[in-house]
């Protein structure tokens, strides 16, 4: 016997209660009789007020109980499951939207689960209710067939090309990309590409990759949501669904000015400013400023006075320390003076210089006279 247009009245952990003949009779359809596929929760398939045809499979007159089945009204679709292949693409229809995904129909009676984790490449917790509509047809990739549990799983995102693969093709590492600041946190920015083909992904920019100058975390605070930026792609990991970029790398690294230089080399700088603690100078051809401490301004402490400079003067200095990997560079005017003094001594001086001058002879005579006087006093 078939009951037509029974109305869903309520749910239990073991099945669905249907109302028959406008409430004259309530019947139960056990969860195992709802579908050939496994059902964990009846509310995944039905809502209150839904209608369905039922096949009566048992009647207990003593308890006034009627058991029904929905799945037995149609052949077991898993008998034809062999025609479906894992990793193949199929067109399906959305039949139920859930908090954790959606159920789709491969064919009449054969449903598959589209889990939320298989909806989007970029959104880790997408809402199927906001993306799809019941009755909508979509293309999916069949990812799993479990014959024992009679389960089928599909993926919507696998039916589309990963935006990270598109990014890799269109903007390989070292490419420049226009985007908008989507969000910020304590240590980084997330950049949304302006390119509509990849606008669903976010590119990570660490605060250390924002500027060559200043405190990285302070520089980070100057960027706001919605701000337009240009970044350079540093790394793309499609398998990990990650991409990393840099704002500072879009400009030449000022430290490269010192790539062909060495310690003791002389560079010409311009004095930017002076203070009681020293000078701020900028090498010609370089956009980076350096601090020269007061102690490094002169060999003679009396001349180590920052106020000798007011700003704008050209000043030759020597490289006292150069470590490009650690981005550590120190400049010194004192070292330049020491190098110049050493060069002058090596060029014009000699260890025996001055011995044949009259002053040297006089000095020797005076020393001998003093010794003789001391000797006479002792004898007396």
Could you give the dihedral angle defined by the CA atoms of residues 268, 273, 274 and 279, in that order, rounded to the nearest 10 degrees?
-40
Ranges in the chain annotated CATH 2.40.50.140: 2-73, 83-159, 164-250, 254-347
Is the CATH code 2.40.50.140 the one for domain 83-159?
A: yes
Is the CATH code 2.40.50.150 the one for domain 164-250?
A: no
Buried b (16+ CB within 10 A) or exposed e, 75-98: eebbeeeeebeeeeebebebebbb
Positions of E strands within the chain: 2-12, 15-20, 25-30, 51-60, 65-69, 89-98, 101-107, 110-115, 137-146, 151-155, 176-184, 188-193, 203-206, 228-237, 242-246, 266-275, 278-283, 290-293, 314-323, 328-332
Tokens representing residue 174 in the block? 């070292």
pTM, rounded to two decimals: 0.60
Reply yes or no on whether the pLDDT at 279 is more than 90.
yes
Superfamily of domain 254-347, CATH level 4 = Nucleic acid-binding proteins (2.40.50.140)
200-253 tens-digit pLDDT: 999 999 999 999 888 999 999 999 999 999 999 999 999 898 999 999 999 999
Label each residue of 306-324 as H, E or C.
HHHCCCCCEEEEEEEEEEC
What residues form DSSP beta bridges with 11?
A: 16
pLDDT, residue 359, reads 42
Lowest mean pLDDT among 20-24, 100-104, 167-171: 20-24
Half-sphere exposure of 289 (CA within 13 A, CB side): 11
What residues form DSSP beta bridges with 201?
A: none
Topology given in CATH for the domain delimited by 2-73 = OB fold (Dihydrolipoamide Acetyltransferase, E2P) (2.40.50)
Tokens representing residue 119 in the block? 């909806």
pLDDT, residue 238, reads 92
Tokens representing residue 201 in the block? 């992904």
């Amino acid at each position: 016997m078939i009951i037509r247009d029974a109305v869903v009245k309520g749910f239990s952990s073991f099945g669905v209660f249907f109302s028959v003949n406008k409430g004259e009779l309530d019947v139960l359809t056990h969860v195992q009789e709802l579908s050939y596929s496994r059902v964990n929760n009846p509310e995944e398939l039905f809502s209150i007020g839904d209608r369905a045809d039922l096949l009566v499979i048992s009647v207990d007159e003593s308890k006034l109980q009627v058991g029904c089945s929905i799945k037995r009204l149609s052949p077991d679709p898993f008998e034809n499951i062999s025609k479906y292949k894992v990793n193949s693409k199929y067109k399906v229809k959305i039949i139920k939207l859930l908090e954790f995904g959606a159920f789709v129909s491969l064919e009449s009676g054969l449903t598959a689960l589209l889990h939320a984790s298989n909806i989007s490449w970029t959104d880790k917790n997408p809402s199927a209710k906001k993306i799809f509509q019941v009755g909508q047809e979509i293309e999916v990739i069949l990812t799993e067939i479990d014959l024992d549990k009679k389960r089928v799983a599909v993926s919507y995102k696998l039916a589309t090309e990963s935006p990270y693969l598109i990014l890799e093709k269109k903007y390989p590492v070292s490419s420049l990309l226009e985007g908008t600041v989507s969000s910020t946190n304590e240590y980084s920015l997330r950049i949304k590409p302006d390119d509509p083909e990849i606008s669903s992904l976010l590119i990570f920019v660490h605060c250390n990759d924002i500027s060559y100058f200043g405190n990285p975390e302070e520089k980070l605070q100057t960027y706001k949501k919605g701000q337009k930026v240009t970044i350079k792609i540093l790394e793309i990991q499609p398998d990990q669904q990650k991409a990393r970029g840099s704002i500072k790398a879009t400009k030449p690294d000022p430290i490269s000015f010192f790539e062909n230089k060495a310690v003791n080399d002389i560079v010409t700088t311009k004095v930017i400013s002076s203070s009681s603690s020293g000078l701020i100078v900028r090498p010609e051809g370089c956009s980076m400023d350096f601090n020269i401490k007061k102690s490094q301004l002169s060999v003679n402490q009396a001349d180590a006075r920052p106020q000798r400079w007011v700003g704008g003067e050209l000043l030759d200095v020597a490289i006292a320390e150069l470590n490009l990997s650690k981005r550590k560079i120190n400049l010194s005017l004192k070292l330049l003076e020491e190098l110049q003094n050493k060069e002058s001594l090596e060029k014009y001086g000699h260890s025996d210089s001055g011995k044949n001058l009259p002053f040297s002879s006089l000095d020797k005579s005076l020393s001998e006279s003093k010794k003789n006087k001391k000797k006479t006093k002792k004898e007396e």
